[in-house]
Amino acid sequence: MNDDNCILFFDSGLGGLSLFLEAKKLLKKQKFVYVADFLNSPYGTKSKKQIKNLVLSNLIQFCEEFSPKCLVLACNTATAVAVDFVRKTFKNIVVIGTEPAILPALRAGFKKILVLCTHATKEHNKLLRNYKNNQKLIFYCPNKLAGLVDENFLNKEKLMPYISKILSKFKGKVDAVVLGCTHYVLVKEQIRKVLDVPMFDGNEAIAKQIAKNVKKSNSKSSKTVFVATDENKQKYLEQVGNFLLKDV
Ligand code: DGL
């Protein structure tokens, strides 16, 4: 494996871009490929078997095409269901997953923490099982939110009525929020308008883990390749990705 090979990010849609940006800040000369499986999104309401098959079939196809040195499941849902299978399938590639940042929120001493994640993450993430009876945690799965973020990224304010409708009931009842889905990080500011409390996500820590685990690249061309599995969304993905990259 060549040090200049790419790092491949995978998510059902735009959410993983929130993690990709953190990694890009640390690895400026690195080639990245970002794959969004719009054709099959959202993942969070699908069955374990469906998610596993989608993750593996996509990764097999894109690893063949791009030969990455590292695979990042930039999706809590895909990680919860499929990270073990991905590690077994791609033994020679560094595989990094994404988990809800519950531990940092607990360590910071918060007493009522709202954990927002998809249904599939709540059901299948092994770590979450340890927390199911923890009195400090309230789990909530806003099933439509990831899809709405994908559709309305360029006009996030349009999401305010929905975000307000689903989260207002927690006002004054929680003192921190864990954003346990990479899509939710993209609407952190909109969520803050309803719940103005400290928010936790794992993106920065995971980006550091990626940087630590891959051999440094000095590739001259560090242009990011964006791939949407739904051809009709290819331009949209490039537009959003390049827009976000401007701040890096
Ligand atoms: N971005 C994803 C996550 O972190 C999944 C969203 C979805 O497709 O439901 O869980």
- Ligand 1 pocket, 182 CB below 6 A? yes
Name the residue with the closest Cα to ligand 1, atom 9.
Answer: 44
Is 118 a pocket residue for ligand 1 (Cβ < 6 Å)? yes
Q: State pLDDT tens for residues 172-194.
A: 999 999 999 999 999 999 999 99
pLDDT of residue 221 exceeding 80, the answer is: no
The full set of domain ranges for the chain reads: 7-98+204-245, 102-201
For 77-119, what is each residue's pLDDT tens digit?
999 999 999 999 999 999 999 999 999 999 999 999 999 999 9
* % pLDDT > 90, the chain: 91
Q: Is 6 in the pocket of ligand 1 (CB under 6 A)?
A: no
Tell me, what's the pLDDT at 219?
73
Cβ–Cβ < 8 Å for 72, 8: yes
The response to whether residue 203 sits with its C-beta less than 6 Å from ligand 1 reads no
DSSP string, 5-40: S-EEEEESSSTTHHHHHHHHHH-TT--EEEEE-GGG
Query: Mind giving me the DSSP string for 139-203?
Result: EE--TTHHHHHHHHGGGGGGGHHHHHHHHGGGTTT-SEEEE-SHHHHTTHHHHHHH--S-EE-SH
Say what percent of the chain tops pLDDT 70: 100
Q: Are 98 and 82 in contact, with CB atoms under 8 Å apart?
A: no
Q: 183, 187, 229: which to mutate for ligand 1, most atoms within 8 A of CB? A: 183
pLDDT band at 132 (very low <50, low <70, confident <90, very high): confident
- Closest ligand 1 atom to residue 80 Cα is 10
C-beta separation of 138 from 114 below 8 A: yes
3-state secondary structure of 59: helix
Distance from Cα 175 to the centre of ligand 1, integer Å: 24
Distance, CA of 179 to CA of 199 (rounded, Å)? 7
Encoding tokens for residue 184?
Answer: 């939710």
Establish whether domains 7-98+204-245 and 102-201 are of one fold. yes
Share the mean pLDDT of the chain: 96
Cβ 139 under 6 angstroms from ligand 1: no
Query: What are the tens digits of pLDDT across the range 11-36?
Result: 999 999 999 999 999 999 899 999 99
1 within 8 A of 217, measured Cβ to Cβ: no
Q: Which residues are catalytic?
A: 75, 181
CATH fold for the domain made of 7-98+204-245: Rossmann fold (3.40.50)
> What CATH number has the domain spanning 102-201?
3.40.50.1860
